[in-house]
Amino acid sequence: MTAAAHSSADPESRRVLIVEDHPDSRDTLRLVIEGWGHEVEVASDGAAGLQKVLDWRPDAAVVDIGLPVLDGYELAKEVRAKLGSKVRLIALSGYSQPQDRRRAAEAGFNVYLTKPADLDCLSQLLVTTR
């Protein structure tokens, strides 16, 4: 599947939360994912992201690891403790060492992508959340 836009009536449309502290990265990713036809919410730190997950219950969350207040690993652990596997957690990080991937898996992330994201891969991951 390519990163082509999905129609808003597309049954593959998902609720996606982006948790990213860099405004330009967060806004760009939001525009791309909305362009694919998904409903998007954003948060700029881990604590706000956790609260959005609990309140909004997205299908998927794209989460940076190096977040202020609560890092991505802790956010993932909290989501898994409170909601189990109901949310697909996608780590999107500049960290790319094997230990980073291991820590992310141990924290509860389903997938680990390094920045810059492969948009075709991300698009596919979002539509396979159900």
The CATH number given to whatever domain includes residue 23 is 3.40.50.2300
High-pLDDT (> 90) share of the chain, %: 85
Phi-psi region of 103 (alpha: psi -120 to 50; beta: other; left: phi over 0): alpha
Total-model pTM:
0.90
Determine, yes or no, domain membership for 8.
Answer: no
Whether residue 118 lies inside any domain: the answer is yes
Number of domains in the chain: 1
Asked if residue 4 is part of any domain, the answer here is no
Q: Which residues of 87-107 are buried (b: 16+ CB within 10 A; e: fewer)?
A: bbbbbbbebeeeebbebbeeb
pLDDT tens digit string along 40-87? 999 999 999 999 999 999 999 999 999 999 999 999 999 999 999 999
Model pLDDT for residues 12-49, shown as the tens digit of each residue: 799 999 999 999 999 999 999 999 999 999 999 999 99
Residue 41 is assigned to a structural domain of this protein? yes
Tokens of 75: 């956010």
Please check whether residue 37 lies inside any domain of the structure: yes
Q: Where in the sequence is the domain holding 106, given as residue range(s)?
A: 15-127
